[in-house]
Amino acid sequence: MKLLEYITKKPRIFQRFVGLKINEFEIFTNKVEKCHKKQMREINNKVERKRRIGGGRQSKILGIKEKLIIILLYYKLYLTQEFLGVIFGIDQSNISRIISSMAKLIEESADPMMNKYLEEAKAEIPNGRASISDMATFLRKYPELEEIMTDCTESPCRRPNTKEENKKYYSGKKKRHTEKTQITISSTGKILDVSNSYPGSTHDKKIFDFEKTVDKTTRFSRHFMDKGYCGADKEHGDKNILIPFKRKKKTDLTPFQKQINSYIGKNRIQVEHIIGKLKNFRIISDVFRGDKDEFNQTFRNIAAIWNFKLMVSST
C-alpha cells in the first residue's frame, strides 16, 4: 500500500495518523497477529461450518498489518469508511467488515488484563482483611496502587429519535447528547478499570455505585475523586476515599480545607490528563457515528492501546 509505505518513512506523520510510534506499531502487529490466528482457529473448528477453509472470494487486503492500519486510522482520525475505502482501493462494505473483525482483537492484544488488575491485586489480601504489615507487603508488590484516581468522561453521540431516549442521553453539563464512561487509573497513568457506558444524564456517583467500583479496590489505596462523587467517602468509611470539601452556602472553606482540596486536586488531575490523551483518538471526542452499543468496546480498545503504549515505553 502506497499510504503505508509513505507514512512508515515519516515517523512523526505516522504517529499523528495512527496514534502509535513505528516501533510500537510493529510490536502491536505481532500481538494482534497471534490473537487473529487464535480467532481463526476457533472459527475454523466450528461444527456448523459449511464452506471449506480458505473458500470464497479472497480479500484484496490479506495482511494483518494493513487491516490494523485501517482500524487505527479510523480510531485516530475518525475518517469515514467510504474515504478509507478510496485510500485502500476497496469497497466501504469491506472496510466495515475489517473494522468490525479487528475491533474484537484490539483489547485482547493490547492489554487483556486491563479490567482484571484490581481484582488480581485485591485477591492478594486473604478474606478481604489485612494487618499493617500486610499493607506494606501489598504496596511493595503493587506500588502504583498506593494512589488511584477515578473520574467520568463524556463523549458526544447522535441525537436519539425518541423523546424518552433524547432526554436520557442529554447532558445538562455538556449541553448536548453524550455517553458517559468512568475510568480508574493508577499513579503511573495505567488504566485499571473501564466502566460500561451510560447515557449522558447519568450522575457520576450513580455510575460509581452501578459499577461497584469501591468493591474492586482495597483500603490500602488513597482513592482520589472529584466533587461529583460526594457521599462516597461517608458511605464507604472502610476505604480511603478522598473527595474535596464542598463550600456551603454563605460560608467559606477554612484554610485547612483549602489546603486539603489543593492536595486532592494536584493528585486527581492525573486522571484528567489521561482522559485528554485518550481523546486524541477522535472517535471518542467527535460525535460517535456508530451504534451506541458499540461505543463502550471502542472506548475500551483505546484505553487498552494507551496501556500498551505505557508498557512499551517502560521496557
Q: 130-174: per-residue pLDDT in tens? A: 555 677 888 888 888 999 999 999 999 999 989 899 999 999 989
Domain boundary among 80, 110, 140: 110
Q: How high is the pLDDT of residue 43?
A: 67
- Render the burial of 10-49: b for 16+ CB within 10 Å, e for the rest: eeeebbebbbbbeebbeebbebbbebbeeeeeeeeeeeee
Q: Are 149 and 50 part of one and the same domain?
A: no
- Let me know if residue 200 belongs to a domain: yes
- Render the burial of 158-197: b for 16+ CB within 10 Å, e for the rest: eebeeeeeeeebbbeeeeebbbbbbbbbbbebbbbbbbeb
Domain boundary among 76, 110, 144: 110
Q: Are 148 and 78 part of one and the same domain?
A: no
Which amino acid, one-letter code, is at 206? K
How many distinct structural domains can be found in the chain? 2
- Let me know if residue 127 belongs to a domain: yes
What are the CA-CA distances from residue 171 to residues 166, 176, 199, 212, 253 (Å)?
10, 6, 8, 23, 29
Q: Are 89 and 168 part of one and the same domain?
A: no
Which amino acid, one-letter code, is at 15? Q
Q: Are 164 and 39 part of one and the same domain?
A: no
Q: Are 134 and 192 part of one and the same domain?
A: yes
Q: Are 44 and 124 part of one and the same domain?
A: no
Q: How high is the pLDDT of residue 124?
A: 73
Q: All 3 cell numbers of residue 299?
A: 472506548
**Cα separation, 115 vs 219, whole angstroms:** 19
Q: All 3 cell numbers of residue 112?
A: 487483556
Q: Are 137 and 262 part of one and the same domain?
A: yes
HSE toward the beta carbon, residue 184, CA cutoff 13 A? 29
Q: Are 123 and 256 part of one and the same domain?
A: yes
- Let me know if residue 313 belongs to a domain: no
- Let me know if residue 303 belongs to a domain: no
Domain containing 229 equals: 117-278
Q: Are 103 and 238 part of one and the same domain?
A: no
Q: Are 272 and 164 part of one and the same domain?
A: yes
- Let me know if residue 311 belongs to a domain: no
Q: Are 104 and 215 part of one and the same domain?
A: no
Q: How many CB atoms lie within 10 A of CB 8?
A: 16
Q: How high is the pLDDT of residue 273?
A: 95
For residue 270, is it left (φ>0), alpha (ψ between -120 and 50) or beta?
alpha
- Let me know if residue 24 belongs to a domain: yes
Q: How high is the pLDDT of residue 7?
A: 85
**Cα separation, 158 vs 176, whole angstroms:** 9
- Let me know if residue 306 belongs to a domain: no
- CA 109, 312, 154, 82: dihedral to nearest 10 degrees? -60
Instruction: Tell me which residues of the chain have a pLDDT lower than 70.
Output: 1, 43-62, 126-133
Q: Are 59 and 104 part of one and the same domain?
A: yes
Domain boundary among 79, 110, 141: 110
